[in-house]
Amino acid sequence: MIRKTLALAAAAIGMTAIAEPVLAQQNEQFIPLLVYRSGAYAVNGVPYANGVVDYYNLVNERDGGVNGVKLTFEECETAYATDKGVECYERLKGKGPTGAAYVNPLSTGITFALTEKTLADKIPIITMGYGRADSKNGSVFTWNFPLLGTYWSAADIAIQHVAREMGGADKLKGKKISLVYHDSPYGKEPIPALQVLAQKHGFEFTPVPVTHPGVEQKSQWLAIRQNRPDYVLLWGWGVMNGTAIREAAAVAYPRDKMLGVWWSGAEPDVTPAGAESVGYKALMLQHGAQRTPVHADIEKHVYAKGKGITEKDKIGEVLYNRGVVNAMLGVEAIRTAQSKFGKKPLTGEQVRWGYENLNLSAERLKELGFEGMLRPIKITCADHEGARDGRVQQWDGKAWKIISDWYTANQETTEPLVKDVSAKYAAEKKITPRDCAKES
């Protein structure tokens, strides 16, 4: 009897899981959200996902959607696992009247897997501040958009800052710089650029891998204590960041000689280590922890109506802001695409055109309420990155303080690498690069 009821219940569950709720899917643009609100990386995944959702809700509540086309979205939990990410992508890619507008994997590993799939499905894959660095080359990577900065740009900016602290690029000669990195495609991505930079400036570069998820770093930091590098770059994510700072403190490595990438520079990365993280520095993907008019709008139109999904005091945190910026760029790409294809739900292929022709001037950014968070960004076929600016911030125990001017990544160092690696990819995949001169 119990078995029978159990079987019936299982059957019922199966039926409901497959049955799609029939919705009035007329004037709606669907956006899949691959998130991780659980697992080892949740501390960073949650604020980011909150920012994304809040911004889409803002666009729906304040403007009634993008030119009247309402944004709909659905979250799917990937837990940062590649196979789960692929499943989520397959689950969500066909939803809505026109399918997914674009996809945001929020994991370099999932990005690599989806790069193979979005090509066939004609869905743009947005990797803002992460992803594969060679995908900047839009003539080969038609569907990938590593907006605002790749890891190779980040590596260049980091070395620029280290050079400035040391008193000039010529002072880098003979210095020792270590990279403590998450041993995954994410952490390995900057290594080729850093090797090129090491050769150019004559510093000694040592990569120090940390195994996923990064809670075990004793031996790595002991090696650093022996090697005594002049600077440590940190390419960590989730629990790995806080652990790295604590281990640095344990071997008495000065925190102000540590520079994290923009994924290692948020509040959850420094607060667990408490006073030990004072002095720790990190790159900024342009914006920091700050509030601009868009945050006031989010409070007014989303939180005042009780539709916010986080606590009010979390609004304006680093990763929350990154989610907001990411969502805004997506919305503006849809808007750009609508100017060509009409004010209706668009397919992924049409939204891709919108991304490739995305051009946000300083005035437009001010209008959107992002003044002071972002610099103008212009995407072209040849440059899917759009902007490669960054600053450096330092944790003072309570807040992130911006301690540098704007840096712009030097393309001379990374461009030959981008050409090389993307050409190799094109040859391997038998892709004929588009002629960007002919794209409009």
Partner 1 sequence: MLYREAGQFKTTYSADMAIFPIRQDRVALILLLLFAFIGVPVMATFHIWPLGSDYMLRAILIPFLILALAAIGVNILVGYCGQISLGSGAFMAIGAYSAYKFSTGVHLPLAWLGTALAIPPLPVLPSILLGGLMAAVVGILFGIPSLRIKGLYLAVATLAAQFFFDWVFIRVKWFTNYAPSGSVSAPELNFFGLTVNTSIERYLLCLIFVTLFAFVAKNLVRGNLGRQWMAIRDMDIAAELMGIRPFYAKLTAFAVSSFMVGVAGALWAFVYLGAWEPLAFDINRSFQLLFMVIIGGLGSILGSFLGAAFILILPIMLDQVPHAIGVPISVETVSHLVFIVTGALICYLLIVEPHGFAKLWSIGKEKLRLWPYPY
Positions that interact with partner 1 (CB under 8 A): 13-14, 16-21, 35, 37-38, 42, 46, 74-77, 79, 81-83, 86-87, 90-91, 93-94, 108-109, 112-113, 115-117, 120, 132, 183-186, 188-189, 191-192, 209, 212, 309, 421, 428-430
**Smallest separation, CB 342 to partner 1 (Å):** 27
**Nearer Cβ to partner 1 (185/265):** 185
**Smallest separation, CB 87 to partner 1 (Å):** 5
Rounded-to-integer distance, Cα 395 and Cα 136, Å: 31
**Nearer Cβ to partner 1 (398/430):** 430
Rounded-to-integer distance, Cα 143 and Cα 161, Å: 32
Measuring CA to CA, how many Å separate 364 from each of 194, 332, 387? 35, 10, 16
**Nearer Cβ to partner 1 (378/424):** 424
Query: Cα dihedral sign for 51, 291, 317, 149?
Result: positive
* Lookup result for tokens 């078995």: 3
Q: What is the DSSP string of 187-252?
A: HHTTHHHHHHHHHHHT-EEEEEEE-TT----HHHHHHHHHH--SEEEEE--THHHHHHHHHHHHTT
Is residue 302 a contact partner of residue 58, using CB atoms and an 8 Å limit? yes
**Both tokens assigned to 102:** 């674009």
Cα 5 to its chain centre, rounded Å, is 46
**Nearer Cβ to partner 1 (71/86):** 86
**Smallest separation, CB 112 to partner 1 (Å):** 4
**Smallest separation, CB 208 to partner 1 (Å):** 13
**Smallest separation, CB 270 to partner 1 (Å):** 23
**Nearer Cβ to partner 1 (16/432):** 16
Q: 360: which residues sit within 8 A by CB, 6+ positions away?
A: 329, 332, 368, 374, 376, 377, 378
**Smallest separation, CB 132 to partner 1 (Å):** 7
> On the CB side of 175, how many CA atoms lie within 13 Å of its CA?
22
**Smallest separation, CB 383 to partner 1 (Å):** 20
**Nearer Cβ to partner 1 (117/375):** 117
Q: 419: which residues sit within 8 A by CB, 6+ positions away?
A: 137
Q: 402: which residues sit within 8 A by CB, 6+ positions away?
A: 284, 288, 391, 392, 393
**Nearer Cβ to partner 1 (286/414):** 414
